[in-house]
């Protein structure tokens, strides 16, 4: 719809608060023939139960679980329907109920949202949220076709069969509308792939330069190879609990708020509408932007922005009492499947105003250490390495992001990234130039889980309890 009625903008009110107490993950690889899918899920599940300093034995914790939510993006990558039942059985959770959740690239976030709703409603006191993807049974270009079936089959899929080509027109339009220097996009790839160097889970970490990104092979103009995420295999998990149970399990739980939004599958079908304002914005803030749009035949959200992200943030901020994102959030994980989606998201979630996204990135506030001031950035982004540097095993992605934010809030970045034994577990050596990416005393973090060209988005806020 392009005009909301009062009922459409009701802010979710959960019956009781929801807490995260543990997270787990595998490492991520483009190809992972060493393990079957359910074996990877077991790796993430064991880490969740055994390595989060919970106050009960792992099997006691398992005995508290009464509901499971599983995220998987695409059945056709593995040719396996009901993979949820195989995983559930393999983890030894029969006969408990489970639900399979599917919302494209936002599957992980939607799975987390579903688990949170189970706790919030009283359906469960302890819910496992686990996701996975196995994209290595087919060659990359066939995988690209599979993913492009998330474009419209009747009107779009035949026009590329390569998902980057549905993102690239948005990059082109955004770039021209807001006069973006492509070096800013490239800097995002350099930053996130650079942070991935410090992650033992990362699939394509690397210290690159802006020039290297820009001189790389073009995937779909203007997006270069290093600006795009890759096919990925792995699994991630989190454990959600009621308040009472959360504090029995840990002294450091994180409170969870989550909300979603959705928009058309076809970018071009997004008709113009007014920008739903975040608590820190006024109509006046966008008077010039609307005028500028008129000049350039632009529209909101059009090709430049994600209405679903804005809607999810609109709701989640009101649930969590976030009044001014740049002041109230201490870190963020964006869905940087492409450099352009990272850039676009900063306006959608209100870390800056729409139209100022480029200035926000160049301000350095999205870095752990702001290169201009040498001090911590106001809201470091994708310290996990993001999708560009670390992983996009799609059904796991939103869960992995939330888990990384959770560990940051617990002050456990070093524990989960710096232990040489952890690197050895995945057959890697901890790099000599490893450095801690722990944010100093973070209170609140945000994770954006995002599908398609913006068809589904879940915005999750984690807050130190």
Partner 1 sequence: MADKVQLKTRPSQITAVDDVWLLHFPRFGEEGTHYHTYGMLTPYFRGLGEGRLMATRCVNPRCPISKGHGELWLPPRADCPDCHQPMVWEQIKDPSGYIYAYTHVERGGTGLEIECPYYQVDVKIAGVCTIIKGYLLDRKPIKIGDKVRAGFRTGADATHTCLDIYWELV
Q: Which residues bind partner 1 (CB under 8 A)?
A: 1-3, 139, 141-148, 152-156, 158-162, 165, 168-173, 176, 218-222, 266-269, 271, 297, 303
d(CA 27, CA 17): 31
Of 329, 290, 297, 284, the closest CA to residue 461 belongs to: 329
For the bound state, the minimum distance from the C-beta of residue 363 to partner 1, rounded and expressed in Å, comes to: 27
Task: Indicate the residue among 167 and 195 with the shorter CB distance to partner 1.
Answer: 167
Of 104, 77, 102, 202, the closest CA to residue 450 belongs to: 104
For the bound state, the minimum distance from the C-beta of residue 76 to partner 1, rounded and expressed in Å, comes to: 11
d(CA 88, CA 265): 31
Task: Indicate the residue among 86 and 161 with the shorter CB distance to partner 1.
Answer: 161
Q: What is the separation, in whole angstroms, between the first and last Cα of the chain?
A: 37
Taking CA atoms, 324 is separated from 138, 317, 321, 445, in Å, by: 45, 9, 9, 13
Task: Indicate the residue among 14 and 146 with the shorter CB distance to partner 1.
Answer: 146
Task: Indicate the residue among 267 and 309 with the shorter CB distance to partner 1.
Answer: 267
For the bound state, the minimum distance from the C-beta of residue 164 to partner 1, rounded and expressed in Å, comes to: 8
Q: Which residues of 308-329 are buried (b: 16+ CB within 10 A; e: fewer)?
A: bbbbbbbbbbbbbebeebeebb
For the bound state, the minimum distance from the C-beta of residue 389 to partner 1, rounded and expressed in Å, comes to: 23
For the bound state, the minimum distance from the C-beta of residue 263 to partner 1, rounded and expressed in Å, comes to: 12
Task: Indicate the residue among 74 and 91 with the shorter CB distance to partner 1.
Answer: 74
Axis crossing angle, helix 394-410 with helix 107-121, rounded to the nearest 10: 60
For the bound state, the minimum distance from the C-beta of residue 155 to partner 1, rounded and expressed in Å, comes to: 5
SS3 258: strand
Q: 292: burial class by Cβ within 10 Å (0-12, 13-18, 19+)? A: middle
Task: Indicate the residue among 143 and 442 with the shorter CB distance to partner 1.
Answer: 143
86 sits in which H/E element:
helix 83-90
């Amino acid at each position: 719809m392009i005009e909301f009625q009062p009922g459409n903008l009701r802010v979710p009110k959960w019956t009781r608060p929801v807490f995260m107490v543990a997270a787990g993950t595998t490492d991520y690889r483009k190809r992972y023939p060493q393990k079957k899918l359910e074996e990877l899920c077991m790796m993430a599940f064991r880490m969740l139960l055994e390595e989060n300093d919970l106050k009960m034995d792992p099997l006691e914790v398992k005995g508290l679980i009464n509901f499971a939510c599983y995220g998987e993006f695409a059945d056709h990558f593995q040719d396996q329907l009901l993979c949820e039942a195989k995983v559930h059985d393999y983890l030894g959770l029969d006969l408990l109920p489970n639900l399979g959740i599917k919302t494209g690239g936002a599957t992980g976030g939607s799975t987390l949202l579903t688990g949170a709703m189970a706790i919030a409603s009283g359906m469960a006191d302890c819910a496992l949220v686990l996701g996975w993807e196995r994209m290595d049974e087919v060659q990359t270009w066939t995988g690209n076709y599979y993913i492009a079936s998330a474009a419209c089959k009747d009107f779009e899929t035949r026009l590329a069969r390569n998902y980057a080509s549905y993102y690239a027109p948005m990059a082109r339009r955004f770039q021209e509308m807001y006069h973006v220097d492509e070096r800013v996009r490239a800097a995002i790839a350099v930053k996130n792939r650079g942070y991935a160097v410090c992650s033992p889970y990362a699939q394509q970490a690397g210290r690159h330069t802006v020039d290297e990104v820009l001189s790389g092979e073009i995937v779909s103009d203007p997006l270069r190879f290093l600006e795009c995420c890759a096919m990925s295999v792995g699994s991630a998990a989190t454990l959600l609990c009621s308040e009472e149970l959360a504090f029995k399990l840990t002294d450091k739980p994180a409170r969870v708020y989550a909300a979603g939004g959705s928009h058309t599958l076809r970018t071009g079908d997004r008709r113009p509408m007014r920008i739903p304002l975040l608590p820190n914005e006024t109509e006046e803030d966008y008077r010039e932007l609307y005028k500028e749009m008129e000049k350039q035949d632009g529209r909101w959200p059009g090709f430049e922005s994600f209405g679903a992200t804005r809607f999810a943030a609109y709701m989640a901020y009101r649930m969590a009492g976030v009044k001014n994102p740049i002041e109230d959030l201490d870190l963020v994980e964006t869905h940087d499947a492409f450099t352009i989606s990272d850039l676009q998201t900063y306006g959608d979630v209100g870390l800056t105003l729409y139209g100022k996204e480029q200035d926000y990135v160049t301000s350095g506030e999205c870095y752990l250490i702001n290169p201009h001031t040498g001090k911590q950035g106001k809201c470091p982004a994708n310290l996990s390495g993001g999708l560009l540097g670390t992983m996009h095993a799609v059904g796991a992605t939103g869960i992995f992001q939330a888990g990384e934010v959770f560990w940051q809030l617990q002050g456990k970045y070093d524990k989960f990234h710096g232990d040489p034994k952890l690197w050895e577990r995945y057959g890697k050596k901890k790099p000599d130039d490893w450095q801690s990416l722990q944010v100093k005393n973070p209170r609140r973090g945000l994770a954006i889980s995002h599908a398609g060209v913006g068809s589904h988005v879940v915005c999750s806020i984690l807050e130190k309890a």
